[in-house]
């Protein structure tokens, strides 16, 4: 009994996107594909525990979903002509330029992450169509009412159909921009799990980080040659490795310098380091690394230090310098200043941070960083004011707890 349930759970993880993608290609309609896939899985839940698991669960699910889709189209045969008319545009050429595999799942991912869709629609659609999460699950993850989430997904599907967003892997010349659009969606999902923005949820939501990693692994398998895909996966793994050490028993965020490094997940770190080494070799051969690869490398430096005092800060700073050239955003400059503080002291770092005031005055991490740098110079009064401001702006409960303790330790 529970064997069949395990197989179904696994099949859902492994086969959902494949079934939806294949059906979308065959029937040219995301709605039909989604509904038929859901029905096929529901049938499996009903039958497999009693009848036994079929020898090839994936093939069984695809066949069953195909039959459900055909049933639905027949049932609505009145709509048939209209349906043919509204079919999505797809190409029949295998998407060879990106990788070794011709996989419909790539088409599905690029369609769900299409730049003509609003970012929140892309997130929802990707989690539903590629990730196989249910609408209530996605609604809970983003603190949106179920009906609103349902509407968001329905509207996105309607736009794909009405505006003819194609079901295809982009042309080689458009690929880097489109891949970075896909990665941005996955990184947002991951970050929401890594440090939830709202005060009304758990501060860390493992479900979301795990889902983001699973989907990034899938894209990595589909596009093994893409450096930024490898970089993002490494970045997620090296961040996730520290998950349990990031929250204290009392529910307070634990900063990097106070974490119990023995609690880090060595398996994830080893996997992340392997990916970073792979990209370093590519960079040595002349491939210019993108921002995810550089961020992953920074995390690799941190996770290589068994003690905070062993951290190679000059390496961290060199990587931030590289990143600033690629992405001159004030948030990167803020993080760079933290490395500067370790090398040149808090006074030099504070001067660099203060220059960012115009752009970051509304960002809690700006004030938290200032507070810490002021504290380290013994300016308790000013530090307290900066902590107050950071606490006022921070949304995450674990972070607020951490900042409050730090403030109250000042004398």
Partner 1 sequence: MRYLVSVIDDKSNPGSTDRRPAISAFNERLIAEGYWVFSGGLADTDAATVIDNRGEQAVFSDGPFVESKEYLAGVWVWEAPDLDVALKLAAEASKVCDRKVEVRPFR
Residues in contact with partner 1 by the rule CB under 8 A: 89, 114-116, 162-166, 168, 170, 174
Q: Closest distance between partner 1 and the C-beta of residue 346, in Å?
A: 44
Q: Which lies closer to partner 1 via its Cβ, residue 178 or residue 217?
A: 178
Q: Closest distance between partner 1 and the C-beta of residue 228, in Å?
A: 21
Residue with tokens 């204290």: 248
Total Cβ atoms within 10 A of residue 100:
10
Q: Closest distance between partner 1 and the C-beta of residue 176, in Å?
A: 15
What is the spatial distance between Cα 401 and Cα 376, in angstroms, rounded to a whole number?
20
Q: Which lies closer to partner 1 via its Cβ, residue 45 or residue 89?
A: 89
**Cβ-Cβ contacts under 8 Å for 323 (sequence gap 6 or more):** 291, 294, 295, 298, 332, 336
Q: Which lies closer to partner 1 via its Cβ, residue 116 or residue 351?
A: 116
Three-state DSSP class for residue 90: strand
Q: Would you report the helix, strand and coil content of the chain in percent, each value rounded to 5?
A: 75, 0, 25
What is the spatial distance between Cα 170 and Cα 279, in angstroms, rounded to a whole number?
24
Q: DSSP strand E in 219-358: where?
A: none
Q: Which lies closer to partner 1 via its Cβ, residue 71 or residue 174?
A: 174
Give the Cα-Cα-Cα angle 13, 17, 22 (nearest 5 degrees).
Answer: 140
Q: Which lies closer to partner 1 via its Cβ, residue 164 or residue 347?
A: 164
Q: Which lies closer to partner 1 via its Cβ, residue 30 or residue 40?
A: 30
Q: Closest distance between partner 1 and the C-beta of residue 102, in Å?
A: 19
Strand partners, 90: 167
Nearest to 253 by CA among 376, 138, 379, 364: 364
What is the spatial distance between Cα 265 and Cα 273, in angstroms, rounded to a whole number?
12
Angle of helix 206-222 versus helix 175-194 axis, rounded to 10:
160
The helix (run of H) or strand (run of E) holding residue 100 is: none
Q: Which lies closer to partner 1 via its Cβ, residue 90 or residue 363?
A: 90
Q: Which lies closer to partner 1 via its Cβ, residue 162 or residue 249?
A: 162
């Amino acid at each position: 009994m529970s064997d069949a349930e395990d197989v179904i759970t696994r099949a859902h993880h492994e086969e959902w996107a494949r079934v939806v993608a294949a059906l979308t290609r065959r029937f040219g309609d995301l709605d039909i594909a989604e509904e038929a896939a859901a029905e096929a899985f529901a049938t499996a839940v009903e039958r497999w525990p009693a009848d036994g698991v079929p020898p090839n669960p994936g093939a069984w699910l695809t066949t069953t979903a195909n039959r459900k889709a055909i049933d639905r189209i027949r049932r609505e045969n009145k709509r048939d002509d209209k349906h043919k008319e509204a079919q999505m545009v797809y190409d029949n050429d295998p998407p060879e330029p990106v990788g070794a595999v011709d996989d419909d799942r790539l088409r599905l991912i690029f369609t769900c992450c299409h730049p003509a869709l609003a970012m929140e629609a892309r997130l929802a659609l990707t989690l539903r169509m590629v990730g196989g999460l249910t609408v209530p699950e996605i609604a809970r993850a983003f603190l949106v009412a179920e009906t609103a989430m349902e509407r968001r997904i329905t509207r996105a599907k309607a736009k794909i159909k009405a505006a003819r967003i194609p079901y295809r892997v982009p042309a080689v010349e458009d690929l880097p921009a489109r891949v970075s659009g896909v990665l941005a969606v996955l990184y947002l999902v991951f970050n929401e799990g890594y440090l939830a923005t709202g005060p009304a949820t758990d501060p860390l939501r493992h479900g979301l980080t795990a889902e983001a990693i699973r989907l990034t692994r899938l894209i990595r398998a589909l596009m093994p040659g893409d450096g930024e895909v490898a970089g993002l996966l490494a970045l997620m793994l090296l961040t996730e490795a520290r998950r349990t050490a990031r929250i204290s028993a009392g529910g307070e965020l634990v900063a990097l310098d106070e974490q119990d490094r023995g609690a880090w997940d060595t398996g994830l770190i080893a996997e992340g380091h392997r990916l970073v080494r792979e990209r370093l070799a590519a960079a040595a051969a002349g491939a210019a690394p993108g921002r995810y690869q550089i961020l992953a490398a920074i995390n690799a430096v941190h996770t290589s230090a068994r003690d905070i005092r062993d951290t190679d800060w000059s390496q961290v700073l060199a990587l931030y310098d590289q990143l600033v050239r690629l992405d001159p955003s004030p948030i990167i400059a803020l993080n760079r200043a933290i490395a500067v503080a370790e090398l040149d002291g808090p006074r030099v770092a504070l001067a660099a941070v203060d220059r960012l005031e115009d752009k970051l005055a509304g960002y809690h991490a700006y004030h938290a960083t200032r507070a810490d740098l002021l504290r380290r110079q013994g300016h308790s009064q000013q530090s307290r004011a900066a902590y107050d401001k950071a606490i006022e702006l921070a949304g995450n409960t674990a972070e607020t707890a951490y900042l409050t303790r730090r403030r109250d330790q000042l004398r």
